[in-house]
Amino acid sequence: MNKKIKILIVEDEAIIARSLKIELNFAGYEVCNFVASGEEAIREAKKHNPDVILMDIHLSGEIDGIKAAEKIIEYKKIQIIFMTGYPERNLFERAQKVNPAAYFQKPIEIYDLKPIIDDLFK
């Protein structure tokens, strides 16, 4: 891998975000930032231009992760990987309309993420 894949983490639970950041950095990715709200996700995506966004669905702020992803991909086609702790069918169906690279139920592990991220940029 010549260029490090740049990842933005959108997760409102700081412990989970920090843990993911450490694991992703250790796996050789560049984590440009982590934020807790959909509004911040939109701003940071424009600012850092990540290759991939790990997006929690339930976030702090006015908009959820699915709505934030919709707004981000209007601006630029960025690969989205959704993660959620809520196994609700309607969330899954809404998320699929964004055409995500993947959709995970938490807890999420690096060995689940790494093959998907790497396959996106072969």
User: pLDDT tens, 19-73?
Assistant: 999 999 999 999 999 999 999 999 999 999 999 999 999 999 999 999 999 999 9
Domains and CATH numbers, the chain: 6-120 (3.40.50.2300)
Length of the chain, please? 122
Q: Which residues are paired to 62 by β-bridges?
A: none
d(CA 25, CA 49) in angstroms, rounded, equals 17
Q: Record the pTM.
A: 0.95
